[in-house]
Amino acid sequence: MWVEVPGERTFPVWYAWVTDRFYVVSGEGEQLLPALPEVVRLLLRSKDTGGRLLTVNATAHRLAPHTSSWEQAVAALIAERLNATDDLAARWADSGLVHALHPFGEPLEAPGSHGSESGRATVLPARTTTVGWRPWHAGRS
């Protein structure tokens, strides 16, 4: 899923889906996502082809740590997290932001009703890089 933040760029996120809302976590050591405004746009893609399936508006609510809604969200997120460690809930309470994203209204785009624009975007430079030793390859010096 991608979260489009007005005035920002579109961010790819991993999430947990429970009943009628998506849960996402961001913060130190987690996925990059700015503080979310009250309304964001969600772009849902096919896991098979990566093609755009739906675009919907959603309300974004930051969940306060240790509330019942936060506990429910964190339990769902931990279940979806690859290589989850035992300290995730404590770390997210200290330095993470957990948001509930609740889709509303009719889809803005759906199969058969996509806009005419390509959706193409410039790749943004990142600070990540391969550092240190690079493997030797036959035929290269």
pLDDT tens sequence across 3-47: 999 988 899 999 999 999 999 999 888 888 988 999 999 999 888
Band of pLDDT at residue 115, cut at 50, 70 and 90: low
pLDDT tens sequence across 66-95: 999 999 999 999 999 888 888 889 999 999
- The per-residue pLDDT for 47 is 83
At residue 27's C-alpha, the angle toward residues 49 and 75, to 5°, is 70
Q: Which CATH architecture has domain 2-109?
A: Roll (2.30)
Q: What single DSSP character describes residue 100?
A: E
In DSSP notation, 59-94 reads EEEEEPTTSHHHHHHHHHHHHH-TT--TTHHHHHHH
Q: What single DSSP character describes residue 19?
A: T
Cβ count within 10 A of residue 13: 19
Radius of gyration over alpha carbons of the chain, in Å? 18
- Residue 95 in 3-state DSSP? helix
Decide which of 114 and 84 is more confident: 84
Mean pLDDT of 119-126: 68
- The per-residue pLDDT for 60 is 97
Q: What are phi and psi of 120, to 5 degrees?
A: -65, 140
- The per-residue pLDDT for 84 is 82
